[in-house]
Every structure is written in structure tokens, then in C-alpha cells.
Structure 1
């Protein structure tokens, strides 16, 4: 093979790229690389040289000078060899020197054979720019850069493929890295609503050109949208690699439903058990497929191309699993250990003196009664049972067809037994009259109960005995500390411990009973949901153990009092939504990944049954899980695939598998790692890690770990991506797509679950930690970075209905500098809404919103806003209503009116949401940024 070195002009060298099988030309002065020779080739196509370029060296315009240049190996690793190789032979004609248009993409199935065809691609609604922060004048490259189209019949081909490659410029298509200085770029709340950096896969990675081939980020998102090819590169970036999964998110209006494959033809890899997806390859004339995880060759099932509904040949390319990153299969019998079980709900209701007096029992029974029709029961198989408890257990026999129930009392709580073998767990449909009668009079039966104490542990054991042969959900409603029988705990709240290194002890379970019982439940497919109401210490940290290991959820209503309408409405709404929620039973979840990637640790509500199998007796909607990923060896593939599979039984008795597939390109460029980082996913993973560390170590360790992780990322970026390198710098540089990570970290440090304070009751802190580890990213972000609106001067269209529903005001930065004395402001974190009223608010505003004559007569505190006959009142109410509805989950935030000169505790609580301000010992955002800069610069600054 002849070398072109002797023909090169001065200042150029040539290097043979083994992967691309082509000469790469390098300008020695600048390091700039290009595929075509920098000189006219007299023979047009010299042996051993690349296709001939145009007759003159490539123009050096300023536009081209801005493009990022990649070394050959780097380009190859990121985009794959196919990106470098021209279509074979002149039969395809040459390619116009312009980016590929959407109508000129590869046809699925033909690409594998090297054939190109024109293919219409429907425009994706709401499509985002091709990369994060893209400059508008750059062309959009879609799937195949620069080639893949044929000239129309009779057209002369454009001479030379080199033009095509000069147009291709890999750096231009890739993620763009923009640096920002945190010292001069204050947080912009709208940044958190941007989509994460684009996933830019090599051409032909997917069989399908469907916009849904990659899982939507609301189901699964990775902390990096370009995976480093080696662990050393990942370590150099200091960004944690992890996956945030919400497998069963609720569908809002306009959301695409998950496609359902009903023919029970499920193609899986014989070796690694990966489910067929849009990123496999068909080989051997389409009779076999190659796994995208382990490269194993597998046979295509015989019925894969058969439409069983019409009993005729089907279109393989229309199958949902080849076009969608999220798909659900109806599972055949081999996926069942036993026939699908009915949904079972057992309600454990505390009827001790506190529970009756607070109105909890009356509200709970009324809510169950009103929602009986909403409990999933389409197949009329759902079973329910009721146990009420104080220091004794009260069972109810509910015979089918009867209109009344009989109560059976068991006072022996040391050796729990069921007083009757039948009629305690009954069919909801058949025993409906008896159930309705019981719920109607349950509160009155215990109205005079003066017993103080709770035998929660024995009640749980009794419920377990009733349902362990089936599985299902135990719903606990408790108003007091468990004090009798198994699982009894003592009040360990000690104000002297708060704020000290011993505080983390209060966040650990006080009794081993709850963990061991939870593991028993998990084995028997029983989940536990906790609704906790105590005005006094209730040891949320201990009781939340049950939902944690059984994949349930905890809900906390401190100082609940149903005589306050707001308390009753909030609980009734949330409890009703939980009852109506379709639940997935007997579930197991496993995450598979491409070669050399391993799931290393798991965060969330489940029990890890084997090294990577997560047991979930039920999978609630909108519950999030975080998984850390380790790179075990160098990755050579141009992209990796991450696939989550959840095998479960629907509450309607159908066995299904939900499969969520994400494909992510690999890179050996540190700049791509930073440019692809997803700050929301990183913050979600850090929240989970911080909570775990606060329990296993100390709260202070968790705070230090968060701060140090932020410092590490900033140091890594400064050392490798800025001119300052290891020296001191007056700036604090980070990539544009990570500019909110510092303020999110500050939000975590100031969150009740982790915050440094001697004033936070352990129950509130433990519940906040439950939220930090279970909320999906969409709900977690406002929880750690609240939303702040100015209402008194919002534009006239805000609060009215537009095309996308109620139009919301622009969010403000979280600082009290934005508060005005005459203003009305809304601050909310997804759990609580504050309506801040300035002391100089004009009487007309007070009248329009609160129907009161002046600020002086307005009272602060928990309230329900009146809906008045004026436009401003209706707009404010619409904004509050939209705030309560716009996020996924069952939560119904309380509304508090906060007067500027009102009660100090309420004012401080509302102001604590403005996390960019200084509060107590916690720094302001500017102070925090300065601390980070000093730490990043070390002693040299």
C-alpha cells in the first residue's frame, strides 16, 4: 500500500486509520484532521489514497474553524466505523454535499444489507434541537450524517465522495460543550425544565426510525448520555454513573400509552436473556437476530412475522418491540410460578383514643366507603379485609350476601391467631353490603374508646396470616407509637441529640422486628403502605422500614386533625388516589446492560433478592428507583444498551412484562462526557446516596459527601476543560448543561432530610428522607429546588387556560430579594404551597383574593382560598389548582397563608424554601459558590 507522504505539502502528515481503513491527514501546526488529502490528486483516485477531493484545499472559513476536531480513533469510537465508510461501489452514485434530510433516511431492515432507500419520517412533535444549547445556524443532522440518499433516476452523480465527508464534520454533529462561569451566571429556574442533553447514536444503531425507539426520560434516564469507554475516563470526570427508573409512571392527558404486545411471542437472547428491542441486528436473511448486549446470534421465533389477530402474515417492522423503547408483553404461562392472584387489600385501622379524637378513623372509613368503586376490581376478584386495633385486635366477619358484620376480638397479642377460618378476607363484590355497613358505623363503634396504646406489630402479624397464601397490600392507618406486643418501641426522641453526631441513630430502625417482618412479607408477595398521623413522636424511621423493604410507600400527616377541613381534604384526596391506583403484583425487576457494565448498588423501596434481582410485592405508580453502574472493563462498542424488565401481575389478573430500553453512545472524549451529563438524574442519584450515607454513617458525613462530590466535579472540569488547568482561577467553570447542579446540591444540603439543624424533629426528617429516595425526578426537583412565582404582577394571560392548559407565571430565582412589600407571591415544593402576602399589600388585592377588607384582619396559617367573583381571584385559584395537579403522584399540597410580619415559625418555614438566601448556619448561594471556588482552587488561590 503506497503512502501519500511524499505527495503532501509542507506542514501535513498522513496516518493510516486501521479502523476506518483510510488515510487520515493531520496538519502538524494545528492538529486539525481531515479525511481528504490537502492537495489535488492528479490521478483522481490513487491506490491507497482516499476518494479524490475537489481541486483545491478545503476552504478555511470562520464557520468551519469553530467546528470541533476529533482524532480518528476518537471519532471511530463515538460514531462507529460505519460513519467513516462510504457506501460500496459506484452503483449507488455519489452523494450531494449536504446534511441528510428527514425524508432520506435508511429503511429499517435494508440498512443491514447495505442498501439505502428513501424513507418518509414523520416529524416528531415538540422535537428538540439536535444538541443541548445548539446554535441556530448549525444544520440538524438526523441519524445518518451526510449520506444514505440516492440521486433521482437519470441524475448525474456528484463527483467525489470527499465533499460528503467534508460536510460531515463529526465534531459539528456531536454534543457541543459550552462552558459557563457559576460566579457570574446565577441559577435560572427554567433550566430545570429543559430536556437533558441529546442522545446522539451512531447511524443505523436502531432498526427503526421511530422517535420512540429510545425510552422516554420519564421512564428511565441515565446520568450520562454518552458513556465513557473506560472506568479511568469515568473516574477522571468524577460524575457518578447511574440510572434513574420510574417503570410505572402515571399517564397524564396527551401522554402516549405504553404499547401492549398481546400475541405472547417474546423473543429473548438465549445467553443473556435480553428482550428483543430496536437495537438488535437481523442477520442470515432476517431468520436470526444478533443481541445488542452480548452479540449472541438467536433464532427469530416462527410466529414473529405472523399476525395472530388476523391469522395472516404480519409486518415485522410494525411490531411494537422494534419501534418502542418502552413496551409491555402479555406473558405466557412459563412466566408464572402460579396462576395470577387477585388483588388483596387488608386495612389495619388504629382505633385508640388519639385516632378517634383526631377524626382519622371517621375520615379514613368515609374515604374507603366513597372509593369502593375505584378500587381495581374489573374482574370482580378483588378481596378485602379489615382489622382494627388498639391494645387488642378486632376482626370482622363479612359473610357473602349478608348486610351486616360481626366483630371478633382477640386480646392475646403475644400469640396471634385468626378467630375464624373464613369470612375475614372476603370478595369485595360479593360482600359489598356488609362492607358498606361496617364502614358506615366503624367510627361510632369506638367513639367512646379511651384506650391509649397500639398493638401495631400483632395487627401486622394477623394481617399477614390472613393474606400470606395470596399476597397483596396491607394498608396501615396508625395514630400512635407501637407500644404493645411484637414491634413495640419506646419514645427515643431526645432534643439534646438533635444536631449532633448521634442524630443519625434516630433515623435507623429502633426494632429489628420491622425489617425481619418486611422480608417475610416480601417473600410472601405482601406489600405494606403506611399512613401515619400522630401529633406526638411516632418513630417514622422505624415504621417506614416496612414500606422500604416491601416496595410500599409512607405518608405522614403530623398533628392531623379532621376538624380542620384542610387536613381532612388532603388525607382523603391522597388516600383515595392510593386506593384507586392500579397496582402491579408479584413483581420482580432486573436491569441488564451491555458487556462490561454492571449494576453495582440499588436505591429505593424493594428487597434485593439475589445480586441483581429486585423483589417488589407491588409496584406503585410514580415510585422511583436509582441504580449505580460500574464500568468493569474497556467498552469497545459504539453504543451500549440498558434494559429494565419488570415481570408482574396486573391487578386484573394478567401476567405481563414491562421492558424499558435505552441506547446510549460511548465516547473516549472527556468533553463529551461533560457535555452529555444530565444534571437532574445526577441530583436524583446524589439524593439517594446522601440519604443512605446519613443512615449508615452520620448526617454530617452525608453533607460532606455531597459538597465534596460537587468540588470533585468542578475540579475535574477545571483541570481538563479550561485553560486554568491545575492553577488558581478567578472563575468557577462548569459545562452549560450542569450549571444548575451546584444549586441543586445546595437545595439537597438545605432539605429537611439532610439539613444541619438542631430544630428538626426526627419524624419530619425521616419522612423527608422517604421522599428523597422515592420521588420521581419530575417531583423531586421542586422538592429540593422549590418554585417561586410573583402573582400580583403576573402577565394577564397567566392563570387563564391556553392550549397547554392553565398558563403559569415565569418562575423566579429562589431569593427573598425578589419579595416586594406590596406583593403576593407563591412558593411551593410539591408538598406544601405558601402564599406570601407583603405587609403593604393594597386593600383591593386583599379583598380580591381573600374577601377581607385589609391586611390587618388577614390571618396566617393553613387555609382554603375562596373562589370569588373577580378575575384575579379566579386566576390565582387556577395557578394553585394547576400547581396541585401538574405533577405525577398522589400528593395534594396544603396551602398556607404567610404574612410578612406574621408568626415567626411559619415565616421561617416559607423562607427556608428560598434556598439561595442565607439561613441560620447554612450559606447563601453566593457564599456556597465562593466556598466551592476556594475548595476547587485549593491553597493556590
Structure 2
């Protein structure tokens, strides 16, 4: 797959089919949709940033690119999308074969334009929304993490603070002499007008009689805004003083009840306050939640402890009384935030569920970050929060105010995007009638995006038949252009343009070409995003059956076999790992919801929906590395047979990293051999997986959980759950020193055997 990774290194794009099925019928026979996973602001060291405005086609508005046909003599360029002839403006007068502008260089298929206007004067804005209905110990952890984060904020960024429990408290940071807060009842929804009225925004200046009231330009005085949002350098002391004195919510909690926690009202107040003060700026609401919401329109459970928090079973049977109301509330909040251009980040830290499943829509549509941990004292939370504000080579590259647009050849339509974005409802000839994810548009809003944010675009081929070769006027190339306008972390507006060309094939003999262009990693990730999406929106959907049917169709179409002879079946190397990916996807946390709460499932899917192909593949099929005295560290099969008494295994499943010591290694370690000078080699063997795990943890967001365990120990389950169960309690013997898995799941060998039988019998 090296050439596909090379293409990703140049354009940030991986496509399931790099040779595209050319007609509607061919595309439906390919089963995996024509799709692309695109990382809009992936950093490229060699990409030029041009200090002028792009040249656009006057018909379809696509940007001049290396695939445009240029007539140097007539100073004309022809758009590859709509074939419109466009004249070059006067400042391109000296253009020639030897004197090309950067956007026509064949290697610059991805290029960035820097707005010639001044960098935006809008500083980044952070509104901290902090849960106080938590125990004292958690409160201490959270306060320490927040004061660290405040110290890392850029000096010019504006900061606000809202705390909530039974009531919502908006802290007036500009009133430095004594702490001053405005309290709102947690069970009541507060409108924007009520908020402005109660917080004294119109004391010195009468309320404007007409128009929307938002921002300094629109009738709010900058002094009243500065009471609640101050530059970090001015309010660091005030913020730290408030945090030091911050107490657990003082309202008494009856023994048979949960704490009163009005998460939804607090987020609604934060959104309205930011919408009034800084509309259209790259503001982020950072919510720190330590328990289930029990108050207000987004409550997920009643205060009564006798009512359990909803499980997957309750959601399937539609017996979760609060779920639909809460989701409806957060959908409205998502719409408001997208309209304002603001982001909701969620840090949920509790042993219980807090409502991530309900909040998912607001976080995902605004492109927010999400971190789920067991406690505010856990390294998963503390290190992830620090990572958000880190600068230098580990910088997340947080950007804001993005708009993503797409242009394609006329035989292609867009069904939608699966990923962290919201539809801008820009309808047009590009929009397919079939909608997947955020569809029915050719433009999307990306309120927040970072260097890793990846969108999955699903296309539909609409060409009905293959034109006769003699009459064929157009070339056999399809073109795609992705345009991303965004506010760079430096504050300036940028436009990144990526233009791709892919050859299409159709008719007899096209199968070999399609096979040659198949990217099995990208296809597995597209299928994972699709199956997660279908599980959420289709009531009677059976994910295992759907994945199996897809895989049988693919093997039947692209496999090499004699009919009804399973032993003759073989797959090209381009497809050979795809069944393995599907096997692990069927067993993954995205499809198997048993043993996970709705919050955990929502969290896993949110991360899958925003990560690039390499990271998503690790979530679907974890990587396993073996360390032993006999050999250098080497990748090994994700199989129970990899376990041996004298080996250490390092499992990376993206969310969790497991260092697993075989029983002999564990005994030696407990005996302290690694501390004895004559056993240096053993000390090095123990240290090697730790160093590799640390390197992975450093580069990843959210920070994964590290589990160090021994064979036959209770935490060994973190490894065993991910392995192919080739040796189980009811299989014939296993190798000495190894292990067995107590499961009724079929092994990969049995799975493959069934697959081959069904593929060769398919008519």
C-alpha cells in the first residue's frame, strides 16, 4: 500500500477505489462505495502558501489547478470540471511554458492561499464550563488540571468561566476586587434575551430596538463583554483565585438521590453568552463533566437512584424515557453553535455515564474534541488536556471557522460526509438523492478542525452507460476538487485547494484495473464509519449480516476461483487483508455494543469519525508487537498463539495500550532479576516495550490508557478480548506456555472457510 500512502503524503487523501468504476452499475457491483478520506489541513512541509487570491472558473467557481488545459498564446485556461474557457487576468500576462505560476506545477495538486487582507483581529476564545457536583477528591484533581491549562493559554486569548451544579453560575472576571457571579436556575431554559437582561448588559446603554444583538458592532458595549471574557494575561490571577476557592456544590443530596446537575442549562447559557459577545469568532466551550445530567432539558436520568441510567438494551427497546428529549435539545444547541461558528469540547470523567451519547450530536457537528476517562485524576484526562494547549511539534493545530466545499466531474454526485462537520444546505446539481451522513449539500461548516481531522466523503457515480470508444469525446478521467477555507491558528484566513484526478474504467476487462487501484485499508475504514452510522439511524439494522453480505459480494466479484470449489479460491494481494479487517471490525467496539455503555460506544464512534486511515485501522485491527530474548521486537499475528511464557507483548488498540508479560517473564520480574547487574539483558527486555508505549502515547490524542498486566492476571482481559480465538476452551490442544480464550466466537480460520464456501457458490 506504499503508493497509496505516498498519495496521502502529497494530498492528505486516501480513496477506497483509486481506479474508479465508471458507471452506476459497475459502482454498485463494487459494493464498497466510491469514497475518499480527506484530512483538510494535514501539515505538508513542502506545500507552498501563495500570498494572492485564487483564480476561479467563471462558471463552476473551481480553482485553477494542474489539470487545467492552458493555451499560453491566447492566455486562456479551460476548466477540467465544466470545460468553460476562462481568460487569464492581466497580472498573469507573463505566463508561459517556462514561467508557470505555482498552482499549475504538476506536483502542487494541493496548495494553500493566504488571504491578502490583514490577519483576523479575533483572538481565540475559551469558555470553561465546570461541573461542581462532584466529590472533593475529584474537585481537587480538576482544579489542579484547570490551573495548569490556564497557564498554557496564549496570552491574547479571551477566557470565561461558568460553573454549574444545582444552579448555573456565570463568573464576572472583570470585577477583580471581589468575586461576583450571576446565578441561573438549572431546571429552567434561559433565552438569550433573558440572559443579557439579567446580566446587566443594558445598564449603561439602552437595548437597541431592532436587530439581533450580538457582538460589539451590534449594540453591545465592549466594556460589558469584557466583564465576562478577558484576555488570559489579564485574568489569570482572578481565575486562579476563583478556582482555589471553588467548592463542591453546596446543596444537600438525599441518600436515595443523585446529585443535582444541570449540564444542558449550563451549556445553553455558555452558547448564548458567546453568541452575544463574540459571534463568528473561533470560540470553544470546554465542558468538564463529572456525572450524569439530572436537571434541565438535557437530563439523561432522574434524580431518583432507583431509576438506572439507560443502557443499549433500553435504547433498542425505546424504553429510555429521557433520551429523545435530550437528543432533541442537543440537536438545537448544535444548530445554534454551528450558526455562531463555535465549538463544543467535551471532557467527561466519571465511573458512571455522563450523557456522551446525547451530547454526541453537538460535539460532532461543531468539530469538538472529546475525552472520556474514569476520573479527573487519570492520566488520560490530565495529559489530553495538556496536549490541547501544547505548542511546538506536538501542537494539535487547532483551527476554526472552516467551510469545506467540493467540486466534481459531472458524472459524479456527493451523497454526504461522515465526520465532524455540519451541512450548510447548499443544494445543487452535485447533490445526490441518496443521503449518507451530512448530505444534500456541496458545502459544509467545520466550526473546529485540527491537523488530524479527517472527513469521509461518499460519492455516487451517475453515468448510466459507457460511451462508444469512437464517439468518446471526454477523457476517461474523473476530477475532484476540495476547497477548505479556515482560520489558521495564527489568526489569518487561508484557503487550501486539493485537486485530484482518477482514471475510470468500465465494461469487460475492467476488473483487473479496479483490483490494482483498491486500497484495502481505506475501504475498511469507510466500511467502519458506514456501519457505525447505519447502526445509529436504522432501527432494525443487523450490522454483522450487512458486513458479511458485503464481504461475500466482494470476494465473489474479485476473487479467483472455480465455481463450487472453495479450495480453488484465492484473492489478489490487493484484497487479501480485507477479510481480516472485516473479521476484526465485526468483533470491534464499533459493532459489538455488549459490555459497553451507550456513552463508551458514542465515544469510540466519535473518535473513529474524525481520525485518519492509519489511526482508524489500529482501532479496527490492533497492532501486536512481540519482544523476546530470541529476536528483535517484531510485529506478530493478532492471535492467541502469540502468547508465550517467555515473551512480552505490546498491544496498541488506539484507545488502550497493553504491555503483557508472559508467565515466566512475570515470575522473573517479581523475583527482581532485572535489578541485578548480571541480568542487564532482562532489564532491557522489560524496558523496550515501555519506551515504545511512551512514544505512541506522546503522539496521540486523546491520550490512550496504559495497562500493564501479566499472563493469567485479571487485566489480561484487555489483550485477550482483541485476539483471534484460534485456541479456545473447546478446541484441540494448544501449545505449552500459551493460553486459551473462553469464548464461543469463531476463529478467523473458520470465518475464512465459511467465506470461501459462500463466495464460490454465489450466483
Picking from 411, 424, 427, the partner of 2:184 is 411
Distance 1:572 1:657, change over 3 A: closer
The aligned residue for residue 522 of structure 1 is: 338
Tell me the equivalent position of 1:665.
Answer: 503
**CA shift for structure 1 position 569:** 4.3
Mapped partners of 2:524, 2:403: distance in 1: 26
- Residue number in structure 1 paired with 2:48: 259
User: 2:233 & 2:759 partners in 1: Cα distance?
Assistant: 66
CA-CA distance at 1:430 after TM superposition:
4.6
Written as runs of structure 1 = structure 2, the 5 A alignment for 1:322-471 is: 322=105, 323-331=107-115, 341-354=122-135, 357=138, 359-372=140-153, 375=154, 380=156, 382-399=157-174, 406-413=179-186, 414-416=188-190, 417-418=195-196, 419-421=199-201, 422=223, 430=231, 432-439=233-240, 441-447=242-248, 449=250, 452-468=259-275, 469-471=279-281
Q: 3-state SS of the aligned residue for 2:605?
A: helix
Shift of 1:234: 2.2
Alignment partners' CA distance in 1, 2:672 and 2:480: 54
Q: 1:315 to 1:389 in 2, by over 3 A?
A: farther
1:729 to 542, 549, 566: 566
| 2:602 corresponds to which of 766, 778, 782 | 766
How far residue 428 of structure 1 moved from its aligned partner, in angstroms, is 8.0
- Which residue of 676, 688, 691 maps to 1:878? 691
Cα drift, residue 362 of structure 1: 1.8
Match of 1:677 among 518, 535, 551: 518
Please give the root-mean-square deviation of Cα atoms over the aligned residues, in Å: 3.5
Q: What whole-Å deviation, never above 9, does each CA across 1:861-900 have from its counterpart, x for those lacking one?
A: xxxxxx99954455333212222245xx423222211221
Distance (Å, rounded) in 1 between the aligned partners of 2:673 and 2:103? 51
Deviations 1:147-175 (A, max 9, x none): xxxxxxxxxxxxxxxxxxxxxxxxxxxxx
Cα 1:544–1:236 shift into 2, 3 Å: closer
Deviation at 1:533, TM superposition (A): 1.0
Report the CA distance between 1:523 and its aligned residue: 1.0
CA contact (8 A) 1:530 1:544 kept: no
Return the alpha-carbon distance in structure 2 between the equivalents of residues 695 and 362 of structure 1.
36
Higher relative contact order (CA 8 A, sep 6+): 2
Query: Does the CA-based 8 Å contact 1:551-1:605 persist in structure 2?
Result: yes
Summarize deviations over 1:498-532 as a string: whole Å, max 9, x none. 79776999997843100011011111111111111
Whole-Å Cα distance in 1 between the matches of residues 312 and 653 of structure 2? 29
Are 1:628 and 2:451 counterparts?
no
Aligned pair 1:715/2:538, yes or no? no
Native 8 Å contact 2:674 2:682 kept in 1: no
Asked if residue 813 in structure 1 is aligned to residue 637 in structure 2, the reply is yes
Which piece of structure 1 moves more, 742-751 or 403-412? 403-412
* Match for residue 62 of structure 2 among 274, 290, 310: 274
Change (3 A) 1:415 1:750: closer
Counterpart of 2:719? 910
1:537-592 Cα distance to aligned partner (Å, 9 max, x none):
222210112111222232211x2151x6x456444444445996433222111121
Inter-CA distance 233–466: structure 2 relative to 1 (3 Å threshold): same
* Among candidates 79, 97, 107, match of residue 291 of structure 1: 79
Which residue of the partner structure matches residue 649 of structure 2? Answer: 825
Give structure 2 stretches of 5+ with no counterpart: 202-222, 253-258, 303-307, 426-440, 467-473, 729-740
Matches of 1:852 and 1:448 in 2, distance apart? 52
Following TM superposition, by how much is the alpha carbon of 1:261 offset from its aligned partner in structure 2, in angstroms? Answer: 0.6
2:544–2:586 contact (8 Å) kept in structure 1: yes
Listed as ranges, the matches of 1:69-468 within 5 Å are: 194-196=1-3, 216=9, 219-249=12-42, 251=43, 256-264=45-53, 266-283=54-71, 285=73, 287-304=75-92, 316-317=99-100, 319-320=102-103, 322=105, 323-331=107-115, 341-354=122-135, 357=138, 359-372=140-153, 375=154, 380=156, 382-399=157-174, 406-413=179-186, 414-416=188-190, 417-418=195-196, 419-421=199-201, 422=223, 430=231, 432-439=233-240, 441-447=242-248, 449=250, 452-468=259-275
| Larger-gyration structure (1/2) | 1
Distance in 1, Cα, partners of 2:250 & 2:630: 52
Which residue is 1:922 aligned to?
A: 745
Relative distance call for 1:830 and 1:793 in structure 2 (3 A) is farther
- Cα pair distance change 1:449/1:303, threshold 3 Å: farther
Q: Distance in 2 between matches of 1:572 and 1:825?
A: 29
Aligned-pair CA distance for 1:389: 1.1
- TM-score, scaled to structure 2: 0.80
Task: Give the CA deviation at 1:923.
Answer: 2.2
- 1:786 — aligned with what? 622
Shift of 1:751: 1.1
Cα distance change of structure 1 residues 591 and 448 upon mapping to structure 2, 3 Å threshold:
closer
Deviations along 1:768-804, whole A, 9 cap, x unmatched? 12122222112111111111111233746xxxxxxxx
Cα distance in 1 for partners of 2:136, 2:541 equals 36
CA 1:743–1:705 in 2, change beyond 3 Å: closer, same or farther?
same
CA drift of 1:369 comes to 2.5
Aligned to 2:737: none
Match of 2:635, SS?
coil
Distance across 2 between alignment mates of 1:573 and 1:224:
39
Match of 1:550 among 366, 370, 389: 366
The structure-2 alpha-carbon separation of the partners of 1:847 and 1:366, relative to structure 1 and needing over 3 Å to count, comes to farther
Question: Is the 8 Å Cα contact of residues 551 and 617 (structure 1) preserved in structure 2?
Answer: yes
**TM superposition shift of 1:723:** 5.1
- Note closer, same or farther for the CA distance 1:470–1:869 as it changes in structure 2 (3 Å cut): farther
Number of paired residues?
675
